[in-house]
Amino acid sequence: MSEANDKVNVQIDGEWHQFPKGTRMIEACRLAGKEIPHYCYHPKLSSPGNCRMCLVEMGMPPRPRPGEDPPKPDKDGHLPIQWIPRPAISCANTIAEGMGIRTDSQLTNECRHGVMEFLLINHPLDCPICDQAGECRLQEFSVEFGTGGSRFREKKVKKPKNVDIGPRIRLDDERCIMCSRCIRFCQEVADDDVLGFTDRGSHTVLGVHPGKELSNNYGLNTVDICPVGALTSNDFRFQMRVWFLKETNSICTSCGRGCNIIAGAREDKLYRLTPRDNNEVNSSWMCDYGRLNFHFLTSEARLTDPMILEHRAHRIARWSEAVGRAAEKLKEFDASKIAIIASGRMTNEELFMARRLGETLGIEKIAIVPRSGEADDYLVSADKNPNTRGARLILGKKVDKQLKEIAAGVKKGTITALIALDENLLKCGFEEDTLKKLDLLISSHILANPTASLSHVVFPSTATVAEKRGTMINRTGRLQRLNQAIDPPGQAMDLWEILRDLAQALGGSNGVYLLEDVFKLMAGTIKEFEGLSLGKIGDQGLPLLKPKESIPLLERERERIEKGIIVG
């Protein structure tokens, strides 16, 4: 079948367009630049068609009666349209050849006014204290399609308020407009059928099934897709008005999946992480653990200044002094006596600078700490390092298998100087008594920890969550970009800058002063990055390596798209 036969002609507000067969009316209108207001519709969920906000006027070419001449097409070959005298929902109906759609007619506007009046009859007037203010579709559509008044003279129906329905989510049932998005998400995506409607008419309420709670690791996605303030996150509730937040596109670094996120921050404080659409990585979702794994940024244990160990106690030092001391001490050791332990949580640029430092010193023993855990059938990867594949590409294929060899060398005394980058070695198989035997221990980290306590020089680094720029490669081989949303505390520096300064102090000057320069060096050294730049990666990333694992949630989603259940 030719490409032309795969498309149909549709008239939208007087203009003709072509769309692929099977396109839903609401999506066709969106592609034509006509946004249809809606509540229950979500492209990643089935379409129940129950909110009726997306009603449009629809028409089709007339069918001639027996004996009548067929209608004549116009000069462009389009048949006249006979309009149907009733509205149609655009979220669940697909387009057809010669169809006409009116999105801004008198009929559609009257329908939208009626739906808004109906929804606001029992809705509470608590917008000033509602957390959804600023991103509430009910507020937005009431301004555009509301009447500004109410003909309702009865008392509003009282419904449950501030109900704890799970460890991370709170329900204000009186705000619910029965769009059923949360119910369908739990049924169709999270496979945890715990939500449902009870009672009838204006007394219908959303509730949790008896004896259950909304506690699955993807439950907070229901807060994202709730178009009103019925479901709110306990963690973000009453923390900040959303219009004050500066939003930055980035990626989650809690596991090897690299879910695309939006970091919301204000005045150098991170308030929330929410999922960002990427159909090649995480669809529209992310797990609750990754979403909430950022509060350590404000820990009292944050390292904020370089420190040097003197007389069995650490003192704060200037950067130049700390770097100079580390370089001076490293020059005293034979390269065979030194090892570097990097981290799978480092960016590609930081790993590349660690490699350059190793080359400057002649170090051959470089490892990262493997970090594994449980995976699930959705998005969570068993690899808890966000950049294992980047480390293998830049430092060597076996870089995550050399940790035991280095640990044995430290224990035997064949390795007497160790550089630990963003890893607490006491959680990686090293013993405290063994580390005390080292003649030199240099470490970087974001938090004070036992390794830092034993280190002769300590560098405060920045966190991958929201505090730095760079790139990583996820488990499916996709190169993605981290972006900085907040400034780090105190004198903390990006690890690539620390490694650059250390290499320069050792005599390996490279004149690198921008992250873009590091990426350019990397692209000129490693063939997989050849021809790339930070700008070319874009917000959606790009495939770089062959996938090491599939994404179960995306596979199921593609099956549902093929069956026509969802748009995707």
DSSP 147: -
Residues 400 and 462 in one domain: yes
Q: What average pLDDT does this structure show over 362-387?
A: 95
- Give 232's strand partners: 170
Nearest to 134 by CA among 308, 279, 266, 2: 266
Q: Tens digits of per-residue pLDDT, 299-332? A: 999 999 999 999 889 999 999 999 999 999 999 9
Residue 540 counted as domain residue: no
Banded model confidence at residue 148, pLDDT cuts 50, 70, 90: confident
Residue 537 counted as domain residue: no
- Total domains present in the chain: 3
CA distance to 56, 67, 421, per residue, from 79 (Å): 20, 19, 70
Residues 8 and 77 in one domain: yes
Nearest to 306 by CA among 292, 317, 293: 317
Residue 392 counted as domain residue: yes
> Which residues, other chains included, contact 190 with Cβ-Cβ below 8 Å and sequence gap of 6+?
216, 218, 219, 221, 378
Which of the listed residues 267, 298, 329 is the one where a domain comes to its end? 298
Residue 556 counted as domain residue: no
Give the pLDDT score at 4. 55
Residues 103 and 152 in one domain: no
Q: What average pLDDT does this structure show over 31-36?
A: 94
Distance, in Å, from the CA atom of 238 to the CA atom of 229, rounded to the nearest integer, reads: 12
Give the pLDDT score at 153. 81
Residues 87 and 193 in one domain: no
pTM of the predicted structure, to 2 decimals: 0.93
Residues 259 and 336 in one domain: no
Residues 353 and 466 in one domain: yes
Q: Is the pLDDT of residue 149 over 80?
A: no
Give the pLDDT score at 14. 92
Q: Report the alpha-carbon angle 230-231-236, nearest 5.
A: 125
CATH number for the domain including 271?
Answer: 3.30.70.20
Give the pLDDT score at 2. 45
Residues 357 and 339 in one domain: yes
Residues 71 and 114 in one domain: yes
Residue 164 counted as domain residue: yes
Higher pLDDT, 284 or 158: 284
Residues 425 and 332 in one domain: yes
Task: Determine the structural domain holding residue 15 and report its residue range.
Answer: 4-118
Residues 75 and 192 in one domain: no
Banded model confidence at residue 1, pLDDT cuts 50, 70, 90: very low
Query: Where are any strands of DSSP class E within 370-516?
Result: 417-421, 440-445, 457-460, 470-473, 478-482
Higher pLDDT, 80 or 447: 447
Residue 141 counted as domain residue: no
CATH number for the domain including 56?
Answer: 3.10.20.740
Q: What average pLDDT does this structure show over 202-207?
A: 91
What 3 state SS string does 150-180 have?
CCCCCCCCCCCCCEECCCCEEECHHHCCCCC
Residues 187 and 110 in one domain: no
CATH number for the domain including 422?
Answer: 3.40.50.740
Distance, in Å, from the CA atom of 90 to the CA atom of 93, rounded to the nearest integer, reads: 6
The region, left, alpha or beta by phi > 0 then psi within -120 to 50, assigned to residue 75 is alpha
Residue 163 counted as domain residue: yes
Residues 357 and 455 in one domain: yes
Q: Tens digits of per-residue pLDDT, 391-434? A: 999 999 999 889 999 999 999 999 999 999 999 999 988 999 99
For the chain, percent of residues with pLDDT exceeding 90: 85
Residue 563 counted as domain residue: no
Distance, in Å, from the CA atom of 153 to the CA atom of 137, rounded to the nearest integer, reads: 25
Banded model confidence at residue 201, pLDDT cuts 50, 70, 90: confident
